[in-house]
Amino acid sequence: MYERTWTVRFSDTDPFGIAHYPRIVDALHETSDMFMEEIGFPFWEISREHGFGLPLVAMDFEFENPMEAGDDVVIELTPDPGTKSVRFEYVGRCDGEVTFSGHEVRVCAHQGGGGAREFPEDLRAALEEYADD
């Protein structure tokens, strides 16, 4: 499991004082980017150096409680890797209470449109280290 804290900023909030949904999605996306960097396969490197990417094919989220500016939201990301795709499970919590949860599905795809491919062994191993048993 990977964990980071996202602080909701004033510029993320709406007239009710709560985070705009697109800004929450920005934070989720940033979390996947931080996670890939953490495990040694940053998005920018796999595309530039290894010739493949992890495009998103699905996202499914529930927003259970609103978040306000100044809230420190602990976002957990747990990868669940398959052969050619990976599911990133997310839970966001504020003071221990779940604010959102859901998942993304990303496929391992050849750059330039050649379709799905198997994960390289080292990337798969890195993903499995953070997976649930």
- Which spans of this chain sit near its own copies (rule: CB under 8 A)? 7, 9-11, 13-18, 20-22, 25-26, 29-30, 33-34, 37, 42-45, 47-48, 53, 55-64, 66, 68-70, 111
3-class secondary structure, 36:
helix
- Of the pair 59, 74, the CB lying nearest its own copies is at 59
Minimum CB distance to its own copies, residue 133 (Å): 28
C-alpha span between 75 and 39 (Å, rounded): 16
Phi-psi region of 102 (alpha: psi -120 to 50; beta: other; left: phi over 0): left
- Of the pair 62, 133, the CB lying nearest its own copies is at 62
Minimum CB distance to its own copies, residue 95 (Å): 16
Written as six digits, the tokens of 112 are: 């330039």
- Of the pair 53, 133, the CB lying nearest its own copies is at 53
C-alpha span between 126 and 33 (Å, rounded): 15
Residues 71 and 6 sit within 8 Å (Cβ to Cβ): no
Q: How many helices (H) and strands (E) does the chain have?
A: 3, 7
- Of the pair 9, 133, the CB lying nearest its own copies is at 9
Minimum CB distance to its own copies, residue 130 (Å): 19
